[in-house]
Amino acid sequence: MLRYITTGESHGKHMAAILEGMPSGLHVDLGYINEELHRRQQGYGRGGRQKIEKDNVEILGGVIKGISTGAPIGFLLINKDFKIDEMPDLYRPRPGHADFAGSLKYHQSIRAVLERASARETAMRVAVGALCKLFLREFKIEIASHVLQIGKARIQEDESLTLDKIRKKTAQSQVNCISPETEKAMIAAIDEARRNKDSVGGQYEVRVSGVPVGLGSYVHFERKLDGRLANLLMGMQSVKAVEIGYGTKLAGLSGSQSHDEIFHDAKRGYYHGTNRAGGIEGGMSNGEDIIVRATMKPISTLAQPLASVNMATKQAEKADFERSDVCAVPAGSVIGESLVAYGIADAFLEKFGGDAVIEIRRNFEGYLKQIHA
Q: Report, in Å, the least distance between residue 5 CB and ligand EPS.
A: 19
> Residue 236 and residue 224: Cα distance in Å, rounded?
19
Note the residue count of the chain.
Answer: 373
CA torsion sign, 234 to 239 to 240 to 244? negative
> Residue 144 and residue 338: Cα distance in Å, rounded?
10
> Residue 4 and residue 43: Cα distance in Å, rounded?
26
Q: Report, in Å, the least distance between residue 305 CB and ligand EPS.
A: 14
Of the pair 330, 343, the CB lying nearest ligand EPS is at 330
Please compute Rg for the chain using Cα positions. 21
Check: CB of residue 293 under 8 Å from CB of residue 229. Answer: no
> What end-to-end distance do the CA atoms of the chain give, in Å?
28
Check: CB of residue 310 under 8 Å from CB of residue 36. Answer: no
Of the pair 49, 111, the CB lying nearest ligand EPS is at 49
Of the pair 68, 176, the CB lying nearest ligand EPS is at 176
Q: Report, in Å, the least distance between residue 181 CB and ligand EPS.
A: 28
Output DSSP code: residue 117: H
Of 300, 296, 297, which Cα lies nearest the Cα of 101? 300
Q: Report, in Å, the least distance between residue 244 CB and ligand EPS.
A: 26
Of the pair 120, 146, the CB lying nearest ligand EPS is at 120
> Which residues contact residue 223 at a Cβ distance below 8 angstroms, ignoring those fewer than 6 apart?
216, 217, 283
Q: Report, in Å, the least distance between residue 10 CB and ligand EPS.
A: 6
Number of neighbouring beta carbons within 10 Å of residue 29: 14
Of the pair 47, 227, the CB lying nearest ligand EPS is at 47
Q: Report, in Å, the least distance between residue 366 CB and ligand EPS.
A: 42
Q: What is the binding site for ligand EPS (CB under 6 A)?
A: 10, 47, 49, 81, 114, 118-120, 123, 322-325
Q: Report, in Å, the least distance between residue 81 CB and ligand EPS.
A: 6
> Residue 107 and residue 101: Cα distance in Å, rounded?
10
Check: CB of residue 244 under 8 Å from CB of residue 291. Answer: yes
Of the pair 187, 296, the CB lying nearest ligand EPS is at 296
Of the pair 132, 326, the CB lying nearest ligand EPS is at 326
